[in-house]
């Protein structure tokens, strides 16, 4: 991946997209090598990877339901010490998601699905990542909310964060991506620019459901 | 006559609450570990026992029973807390951590094994015969309100119990480490993604839970000054019942469950028969498991999709 890109992995259930992200952030062990900014991640434990600038917003959002929104965000910045910078990031999250600020004291479990997804993304951003892994940000959300979330993804990327996106909503994903890979049962079967794949007949037939 | 029976009732109320706050302190250790590892740490009752002996030996080596008072109390509390937290964290490191990824039943059986190991090691090291806990606080009537005696022992227990439980509440809800504990308890894998060192949080949980058992041990020692290596068994089970009663995994639940159990016990002994004292705890356990398995304040969290 190159700096500043949005790359997406698309493909059917069980193809290995989520597994790829989980390996990247150290949630599962893997053989072979993954390099991030010149460092091999194979031996780095999960909780240290985020310090290298790689934040992961997991599938199913994974917000802490018993913690308040504010506490969830605080946990996102767990490994950081620079208080002033953290406060600045927090302000930035409120700009991206104005609704966060209204709900700071609320338990994350009481938020709607869309709000939880926004919280999950904000929380990942609180780590001030250079690479953001997003796993199925559209999962189970209404189309209007999905559109909002993809707007935010574009915005975050414009601010210089590289994004690796895993999506089943291939059309949405391809629209925002510079490059994309189609994954089938653990193998990459197609790759190319997002705009090209969007019009590729094989992708259209298998993942976009025709027009 | 009327007033003397109500005075008696208030006296029992005080006793019950003070006994209950001891149960609560110990119950917190069960519930904290359960909240984070979904493990019933059966060795917790032996951590408690070791706390009592640590306080006993600290007092004996420093001759503190000759100088009773708040200072002596603080010293033996510190000794118990130190011994318990070291023991608790060592048990986790040596016995539970290597099994973290194996089936829950394996860890549970290991916990029972550690508990037995400590009970009988205790008999070898400390001797099987009971020892007399130092009387670092003299149990005197401090003052009298409306015919009810307020005794120094009950005041000590209530003050220390409240102090530590308030401290725990502050720690869990108003510090970064406490928030991390709750995050790990809700989802360890995601917590690690945030940069939280889950192993360290688990160690910390064992330190805090075990320390509270140490505090409980000193308070029990003061109230019932006979200690022996098997002393943890019964009170351990009662504290566990208190944790289940309040809702295992819930901190306010453990406190509520402890106080309720203490009160019930005291009232049963006062108004029925002391024979039923221990049966009560198990009766409550059975009823809770039958009718409200999640406990009074426990809840089964469901994630929204």
Q: Map tokens 């993604």 to a residue.
A: B193
Tally of domains in chain A: 1
**Does A84 map to a domain?**
yes
**Does A182 map to a domain?**
yes
Interface test with A, best of B36, B100, B101, B194 (most A CBs within 10 A): B194
Q: Give the lowest-confidence range in B148-152, B154-158, B194-198, B215-219.
A: B148-152
Measured between alpha carbons, how far is B245 from A48 in angstroms, rounded to an integer?
39
Q: In the predicted model, is pLDDT for residue B182 greater than 80?
A: yes
Q: Give the lowest-confidence range in A58-62, A176-180, B297-301.
A: B297-301
**Does A57 map to a domain?**
yes
Range A8-24 average pLDDT: 80
Q: In the predicted model, is pLDDT for residue B258 greater than 90?
A: yes
Chain B residue with CA closest to A59: the answer is: B190
**Does A74 map to a domain?**
yes
**Does A177 map to a domain?**
yes
Q: Where do the domains of chain B lie, and which CATH numbers do they carry?
A: 2-291 (1.10.3470)
- Are β-strands A35-36 and A162-167 bridged in parallel, bridged antiparallel, or unpaired? unpaired
Interface test with A, best of B191, B195, B204 (most A CBs within 10 A): B195
| Structure tokens given for B215 | 């505090």
| Structure tokens given for B45 | 């009752």
- Are β-strands A35-36 and A39-40 bridged in parallel, bridged antiparallel, or unpaired? antiparallel
Contact assessment for residue A89 and residue A77, using Cβ atoms and an 8 Å cutoff: yes
Contact A109 B303 (CB under 8 A): yes
Chain B residue with CA closest to A128: the answer is: B194
Contact B190 A58 (CB under 8 A): yes
Residues across chain B: 305
Q: Which of A1-5, A193-197, B93-97 has the highest mean pLDDT?
A: B93-97
Range B69-93 average pLDDT: 95
**Does A41 map to a domain?**
yes
Q: Is B20 exposed, middle or buried (0-12, 13-18, 19+ CB in 10 A)?
A: buried
CATH code of A200's domain: 3.40.50.300
Q: Which residues pair with A184 in a beta bridge?
A: A187
DSSP letter string, B65-99: GGS-SHHHHHHHHHHHHHHHHHHHHHHIIIIIGGG
Measured between alpha carbons, how far is B67 from A85 in angstroms, rounded to an integer?
53
Q: What is the per-residue pLDDT for A47?
A: 86
Measured between alpha carbons, how far is B142 from B135 in angstroms, rounded to an integer?
16
| Structure tokens given for B277 | 């004292």
Per-residue pLDDT band for B170 (boundaries 50, 70, 90) equals very high
Measured between alpha carbons, how far is A179 from A176 in angstroms, rounded to an integer?
9
**Does A1 map to a domain?**
no
% of residues, chain A, pLDDT over 90 = 29
HSE-CB of B8 using CA atoms within 13 angstroms: 9
Interface pTM, i.e. ipTM: 0.87
Measured between alpha carbons, how far is B250 from A39 in angstroms, rounded to an integer?
42
Q: What is the per-residue pLDDT for B122?
A: 95
Q: What is the mean pLDDT of chain B?
A: 91
Contacting B with CB below 8 Å, chain A residues are: 25-27, 45-48, 50-51, 55-56, 58, 60, 62, 64-67, 71, 74-76, 78-79, 109, 111-113, 116, 123, 127, 139-140
Q: In the predicted model, is pLDDT for residue A200 greater than 80?
A: no
Instruction: Please list, in sequence order, all residues whose beta carbon lies within 8 angstroms of the beta carbon of residue B2, skipping any fewer than 6 positions away.
Output: none
Q: Residue A77 CA to chain centroid, in angstroms?
A: 16
Q: In the predicted model, is pLDDT for residue B3 greater than 70?
A: no
Cβ-Cβ contacts under 8 Å, A50 against chain B: 193-195
Contact assessment for residue B192 and residue B198, using Cβ atoms and an 8 Å cutoff: yes
Indicate the Cα dihedral angle B154, B159, B164, B169, nearest 10°.
Answer: 120
Which residue from A47, A65, A66 is facing B195, i.e. has the nearest CB? A47
| pTM metric for this prediction | 0.89
Per-residue pLDDT band for B178 (boundaries 50, 70, 90) equals very high
Contact assessment for residue A168 and residue A135, using Cβ atoms and an 8 Å cutoff: no
A132 lies in which domain range?
A: 6-208
Q: In the predicted model, is pLDDT for residue B141 greater than 90?
A: no
Instruction: Please list, in sequence order, all residues whose beta carbon lies within 8 angstroms of the beta carbon of residue A191, skipping any fewer than 6 positions away.
Output: A179, A180, A181, A182
Contact B186 A71 (CB under 8 A): no
**Does A131 map to a domain?**
yes
Contact A27 B304 (CB under 8 A): no
Task: Show the DSSP H helices in B198-250 as ranges.
Answer: 198-223, 232-246
């Amino acid at each position: 991946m190159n700096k500043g890109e949005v790359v997406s992995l698309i493909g059917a259930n069980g193809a290995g997209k989520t597994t790829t992200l989980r390996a990247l952030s150290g949630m599962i062990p893997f053989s072979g090598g993954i390099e991030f900014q010149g460092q091999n991640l194979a031996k780095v434990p999960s909780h240290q990877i985020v310090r290298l600038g790689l934040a992961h917003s997991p599938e199913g959002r994974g917000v802490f339901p018993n913690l308040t929104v504010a506490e969830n965000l605080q946990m996102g910045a767990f490994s950081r010490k620079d208080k002033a910078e953290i406060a600045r990031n927090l302000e930035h999250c409120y700009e991206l998601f104005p609704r966060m600020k209204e709900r700071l004291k609320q338990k994350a479990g009481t938020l709607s699905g869309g709000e939880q997804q926004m919280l999950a993304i904000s929380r990942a951003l609180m780590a001030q990542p250079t690479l953001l892994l997003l796993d199925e940000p559209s999962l189970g959300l209404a189309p209007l909310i999905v559109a909002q979330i993809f707007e935010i993804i574009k915005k975050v990327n414009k601010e210089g964060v590289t994004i690796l996106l895993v999506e089943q909503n291939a059309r949405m994903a391809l629209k925002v991506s510079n490059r994309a890979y189609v994954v089938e049962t653990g193998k990459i079967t197609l790759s190319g620019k997002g705009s090209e794949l969007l019009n590729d007949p094989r992708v259209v037939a298998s993942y976009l459901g025709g027009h | 006559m009327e007033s003397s029976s109500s005075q008696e009732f208030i006296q029992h109320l005080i006793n019950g609450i003070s006994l209950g706050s001891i149960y609560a302190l110990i119950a917190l250790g069960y519930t904290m570990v359960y909240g984070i590892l979904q493990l019933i740490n059966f060795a917790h009752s032996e951590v408690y026992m070791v706390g009592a002996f640590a306080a006993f030996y600290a007092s004996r080596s420093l001759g503190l029973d000759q100088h009773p008072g708040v200072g002596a109390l603080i010293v033996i509390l510190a000794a118990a807390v130190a011994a318990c937290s070291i023991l608790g964290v060592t048990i986790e490191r040596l016995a539970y951590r290597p099994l973290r990824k194996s089936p829950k039943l394996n860890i549970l059986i290991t916990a029972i094994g550690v508990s037995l190991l400590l009970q009988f090691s205790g008999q070898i090291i400390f001797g099987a015969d009971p020892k007399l806990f130092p009387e670092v606080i003299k149990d005197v009537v401090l003052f009298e309100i409306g015919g009810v005696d307020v005794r120094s022992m009950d005041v000590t227990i209530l003050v220390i119990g409240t102090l530590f439980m308030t401290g725990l509440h502050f720690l869990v809800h108003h510090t970064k480490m406490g928030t991390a504990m709750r995050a790990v308890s809700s989802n360890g894998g995601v917590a690690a993604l945030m940069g939280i060192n889950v192993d360290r949080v688990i160690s910390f949980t064992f330190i805090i839970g075990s320390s509270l058992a140490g505090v409980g041990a000193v308070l029990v020692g003061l109230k019932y000054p006979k200690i022996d290596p098997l002393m943890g068994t019964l009170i351990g089970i009662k504290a566990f019942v208190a944790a289940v009663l309040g809702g295992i995994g819930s901190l306010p639940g453990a406190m509520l469950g402890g106080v309720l159990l203490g009160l019930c016990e005291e009232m049963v002994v006062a108004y029925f028969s002391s024979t039923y004292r221990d049966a009560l705890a198990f009766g409550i356990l059975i009823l809770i498991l039958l009718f409200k398995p999640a406990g009074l304040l426990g809840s089964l969290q469901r994630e929204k999709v």
